[in-house]
Structure 1
Amino acid sequence: MPVSFETGDIFATPGLSSYAHGCNCAGAMGKGIAVAFRQHWPAMYEAYRRLCMAGEFAPGDVFVWEEGTVTVFNLGTQLSWRTKAEYGAVERALSEMLREAEVRGVPEIALPSIGAGLGGLEWPRVRVLLEAFGAATPIRLRVCETFVEGVPLAA
């Protein structure tokens, strides 16, 4: 299914129940959209932190959190907040996320421009990756390309 690149705020969009974001593997969600994920799902953050501290979450891994009707895919895109994200890690994590989403029957996932903000990757290159993965899956990927706080996503 084609990827939609949208403007708005994934957390202000009614009807969404599955989200993804890129994160480091050092147990920190202290900047960017990761802070909002930590605030929305504090128990998820604690479980993620424990995985990282135990050395059980590496670049390319996906930590899936289910809470009520919500599914969150935490994508390991970079080793720590001090290092840049890696294209290979983004690719592996996207592949695993989509596999996990299919198993769980997730029809759509909202996500930011993973790896391209604080992760330091080139957005045009990440966008091409997302387009390729989107074309190969029945799962709708709704990518927030331009963040506008409090405004529902719109193409």
Structure 2
Amino acid sequence: MVQYIEYGDIFGIEGVQNYAHGCNCAGAMGKGIAVAFKEKYPRMYVEYKRRCKTGEFRPGDIYPYKDAAGYVFNLGTQVSWTTRAELPAVEQSLRKMMTFAVENGVYRIALPKIGAGLGRLNWEEVKLVIDQVAADYPDVDLYVVENYKVEAGL
């Protein structure tokens, strides 16, 4: 099931401890929600950067990072921060993430609108891909926050 949330904070969704975000494969997390991931999971960032440098993380790949609460799925959606995201890479990384989730007992994942912000893809096209992939994995719930917004007073 996919639940689209118009405004919110992926890190503030009740009952969700697993997160995903689209990444470039050049080792940079300097803009957008990637900065929050880099700050929240500094060890993950170091390993992500290493994987990019050695060519172990490419478009269509995933890098699942396990912390005490759950997983962070880094989804390889674009070559670098200067290039557009690639719809086939979005689909491939989502499928790999969902397969990993089923195999590892992960049933709830929150993510931003991947590929359509800094990746510059058409959001409606990306949503179709998300819906198609999610339909093949009915045991995993995706919570997609379309616009980042922290609630006042939090």
TM range, normalised to the smaller chain? Answer: over 0.9
Q: Which residue of 1 aligns with 2:145?
A: 144
Alignment of 1:71-150 (within 5 A): 71-137=71-137, 138-150=139-151
Cα offset, 1:82, TM superposition: 0.6
User: Aligned partners of 2:147, 2:124: CA distance in 1, in Å?
Assistant: 14
Cα offset, 1:97, TM superposition: 0.4
Q: CA RMSD in A?
A: 1.1
Q: Which residue of 1 aligns with 2:11?
A: 11
- Residue identity opposite 1:144 in structure 2: V
Runs of 4 or more, structure 1, over 4 Å off, are none
Find out whether 1:57 has 2:57 as its counterpart: yes
- Residue identity opposite 2:18 in structure 1: S
- Residue identity opposite 2:4 in structure 1: F
Normalised by the length of structure 2, the TM-score is 0.94
- Residue identity opposite 1:100 in structure 2: F
- Residue identity opposite 2:150 in structure 1: E
User: Aligned partners of 1:150, 1:58: CA distance in 2, in Å?
Assistant: 35
Normalised by the length of structure 1, the TM-score is 0.93
User: Aligned partners of 1:42, 1:54: CA distance in 2, in Å?
Assistant: 19
Greater Cα shift, 110-119 or 134-143: 134-143
Alignment of 1:32-51 (within 5 A): 32-51=32-51
Cα offset, 1:67, TM superposition: 0.7
Please tell me whether the aligned partners of residues 19 and 73 of structure 1 are also in contact (alpha carbons under 8 angstroms): yes
- Residue identity opposite 2:21 in structure 1: H
User: Aligned partners of 2:69, 2:106: CA distance in 1, in Å?
Assistant: 11
Identity %: 49
The number of residue pairs the alignment matches comes to 150
User: Aligned partners of 1:133, 1:140: CA distance in 2, in Å?
Assistant: 11
Cα offset, 1:12, TM superposition: 2.2
User: Aligned partners of 1:130, 1:24: CA distance in 2, in Å?
Assistant: 18
User: Aligned partners of 2:23, 2:57: CA distance in 1, in Å?
Assistant: 10
Find out whether 1:25 has 2:17 as its counterpart: no
